[in-house]
């Protein structure tokens, strides 16, 4: 299991993480803000709650006696979403920086608001 930080293809376009709030910037769900359920690093795709939802009809089985309709979200390209900044109330470009303790964090390039830590603090990066 390769960590998401070291996985190939991880760059400016792929700093979306599980549980991030993102804004969809293209496609039929454009403008929607929702939570990231899964990140598929190798494919540069993300699965976002309620976005690109598909429905599948199921027959009644022993396990599911009612049958009916189940829905699931299809992965969409990570380039179709931007991380959502609660301060800007919009999808934004994000940067990365180290704090005084060497903790890497992401931030909103528009307003500077912190968007969550990245990985564990590395003392090598700490300001000495
Ligand atoms: Zn912002």
Q: Give the CATH number, domain containing residue 74.
A: 2.30.30.30
Instruction: Quote the domain boundaries for residue 69.
Output: 12-92
User: Token digits for 90?
Assistant: 């919009």
Cα distance between residue 76 and residue 127, in whole Å:
38
Q: How far, in Å, from the CA of 85 to the mean position of ligand 1?
A: 5
| Residue 101 belongs to a domain | no
Return left, alpha or beta for 108; rule: phi > 0 is left, psi -120 to 50 is alpha, else beta. Answer: beta
Provide long-range contacts, Cβ within 8 A and 24+ apart, for 49-55: 49/73, 51/24, 51/76, 52/27, 52/76
- pLDDT classification of 20: cutoffs 50, 70, 90: very high
Per-residue confidence (pLDDT) for residue 3, from 0 to 100:
47
The alpha carbon of 72 and the centre of ligand 1 are apart by a number of angstroms equal to 30
Q: Estimate the share of the chain in helix, then strand, then coil, as percent rounded to the nearest 5.
A: 10, 40, 50
Is 118 part of a structural domain of the chain? no
- Average per-residue pLDDT for the chain: 84
**What pLDDT band is residue 125 in, cutting at 50, 70 and 90?**
low
Q: Flag whether pLDDT at 9 surpasses 50.
A: no
pTM of the model: 0.74
75: three-class secondary structure by DSSP: coil
Distance 128 CA to ligand 1 centre (A): 29
Read off the pLDDT band of 123 (50, 70, 90). low
The answer to whether residue 73 sits within a structural domain is: yes
Whether residue 6 has pLDDT greater than 50: no
Question: How far, in Å, is the centroid of ligand 1 from the Cα of 112?
Answer: 6
1 CA distance to ligand 1 middle (Å): 32
- pLDDT, tens digit, 9 for 90 and up, residues 29-68: 999 999 999 999 999 999 999 999 998 888 787 776 777 8
CA of 32 to the centre of ligand 1 (A): 17
Total number of domains in the chain: 1
CA distances (Å), origin 8, targets 3, 56, 60: 10, 33, 42
Interval between CA 94 and ligand 1 midpoint (Å):
9
Provide the pLDDT confidence category of residue 117 given band limits of 50, 70 and 90.
Answer: confident
Does residue 99 lie within any of the structural domains? no
Q: Do the domain assignments include residue 6? A: no
């Amino acid at each position: 299991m390769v960590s998401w930080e070291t996985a190939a293809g991880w760059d400016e376009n792929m700093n979306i993480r599980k549980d991030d709030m993102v804004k969809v910037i293209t496609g039929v769900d454009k403008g929607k803000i929702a939570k990231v359920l899964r990140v598929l690093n190798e494919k540069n795709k993300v699965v976002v709650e309620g976005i690109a939802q598909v429905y599948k009809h199921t027959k009644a089985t022993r396990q599911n006696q009612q049958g009916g309709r189940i829905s699931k979200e299809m992965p969409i390209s990570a380039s179709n979403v931007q991380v959502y900044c609660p301060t800007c109330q919009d999808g934004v470009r994000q940067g990365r920086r180290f704090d005084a303790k060497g903790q890497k964090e992401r931030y909103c390039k528009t307003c500077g608001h912190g968007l969550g830590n990245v990985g564990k603090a590395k003392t090598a990066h700490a300001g000495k």
